[in-house]
Structure formats: structure tokens, C-alpha cells
Amino acid sequence: MTHVQCLIIGSGPAGYTAAIYAARANLTPVLIEGPQTGGQLMITTEVENFPGYPEGVEPFQMMADMRSQAERFGTQFVSGCVTRVDFSCSPKLVVVEDTDEYTADTVIVATGASAKFLGIPSEEAYRGHGVSACATCDGFFYRRKTVAVVGGGDTACGEAEYLAGLCSKVYLIVRKPFLRASQIMQQRVLNNPKIEVLFEHNTLTLTGENKVQGADLVYRKGTPDEEIRHIEIDGFFLAIGHKPNTDLFADYLNRDEEGYILTEADSPRTNVPGVFAAGDCADPHYRQAIVAAGSGCKAAIEADRYIKSL
């Protein structure tokens, strides 16, 4: 069993930023990297909206830069997944891969959230080559092009409206004969001449040579009116929701109905003293790398203050 002052779970922008600040505060943090270094950022093609990279940067490079910076100040990295925690005791207990046990005075949870996908094979094949789960992140690359957004809720309508400001045409693919979005969002989408809503459509597959160039859809699947249709597109955006990676902490941390960790006001403090949440696991609204990084900074500062108060 290893004891640390600050243990960070997650290796995205929130986790790495927390590590940088915690290490500079002489907390000698240990960061558990999890199954995907860099987190959800790794499914985008290029990062152009993170300050400090005027020419843009590949997500792998940006995460490598963050990791190197955290390592420079003394962060220790552990490869593996956290399989069990106990936040009822003090210090907190964190178990990695069911074998390695860590006790920690403070824990920063930065496990992120995972975008929900349709589950069709071509999604994976074109991921990073026309398939995206973040219009704010990747919409810029599709200026004056044709794209499709999947979903019928507020998120999907918001993404479609955002993309309509950049693209020449936006298809909104909705599996139901109506939109679930709020009335005002419905009106904005239906009144936008650049957006064509395809009600009662499901996506069968994506097509294209090395990148997304089209999509095969089925209209009114399973009815006598069923029909296969093809649309030509340059980008395919998923907007059917995200799932925060927080199930591991359900017995200890307060969460909302979707699973996002609830924190006190504008702070990263959770309902458990000494446990802080940062990044997308506690952010159902913005889900941007720069916002996650800022929350990681706040979590590390709060962890330092908590330790000094002991």
C-alpha cells in the first residue's frame, strides 16, 4: 500500500492540469492514467481552439506536452484503471487493477465523459476522418461544406444551429417524427434555411474513400413505407448525449440523474471532504478542453488548501 498526498484519476486536460498545479505545490501527486491517455480529446482530428497553439496542434501532441509539463514538476504516473475506491475512510482508498492499493489525503476525480455513438461499424472506421461528437471542437474544419447531425434534443439542435453558421448545409437526422428539443430550439432549427430536418430516419452506414463522403439512411424502418436513402456529406456529428465516467464513485459522490458529479457552487468540492471533481465528469454543459483544464487547476488549488487545513 502506497500513501500519497494527492491522487488524480484521469489523464485528460483536467487531470494533467491538476497534476501540474499539485506538483508545483509540492504535493507530489500520483496520476492514474486510465484506459485512454488524453481522454475524449483523442477522437478529434486537430485542436485549434486551445490557447498557445496558434497553428493548431494534434491532440496526441497536446496531451504529450501536458504530460511532460506535469512530469517536469514531479508528477508520478501509473498505468492502469482504477477498479475500486473507498471514500468513506480517511485517508481515501483507491485500488488500481484490483491489486495496487493507494491511500490519499486528497483525490481529484477527472475521469471525463464518453460520447454516445450509434454503434454502427462505420462510425469507428471513420472516427477522426469525418465522424465527430463535438461541433464546437471540429465544426471549423467543415466551413462551406455539407454535414449531418444525429439527434433530436436540445444538444442536437444546438449543434445543428452552430454548424449552420459555418457550413453550406446541415442535415439533422431524427429517428422520431418529432423533435424532443425545447420549443425555442425547435423553432430556430425549423426556421433555419440551411438546416434540413430528416424525420423518421436512421443511419445505416457511412460511406467514402478514406473519409466520410456520404451516409445511407433508412426512412420509416420496419413500415410499408420503408425506403433506403443516400445523402452526400463531408462530416457526421453525433449529438445523442454523453455518459460521464462516474459509475465507480456512485456509492460515495452525489451525482445528477445523468451521472455527472455534483460540486459545491462554482468550486470543484464534492460532498466528500478531500475529494474534488474536475473536467467533463462534472460538466454537462461545456465539455471543452480549456474549461476542463481550468477546472483541473481549481481542483489542485482546493486540494492544496485542504491538506494545509489538516
d(CA 149, CA 163): 9
Q: One of 6, 137, 167, 281 is an active-site residue; which one?
A: 137
Q: One of 6, 89, 98, 138 is an active-site residue; which one?
A: 138
Q: Quick check: helix, strand or coil at residue 64?
A: helix
Q: Quick check: helix, strand or coil at residue 248?
A: helix
d(CA 43, CA 11): 14
138 tagged catalytic? yes
With residues binned 3-state (H G I as helix, E B as strand, rest as coil), the percentages for the chain, rounded to 5, are 30, 30, 40
* Cell numbers 482546493: residue: 302
137 tagged catalytic? yes
Q: One of 134, 157, 281, 297 is an active-site residue; which one?
A: 134
The cell numbers describing 2, all together, are 502506497
281 tagged catalytic? no
d(CA 111, CA 243): 11
Q: Quick check: helix, strand or coil at residue 30?
A: strand
User: Which residues are the active-site residues?
Assistant: 134, 137-138
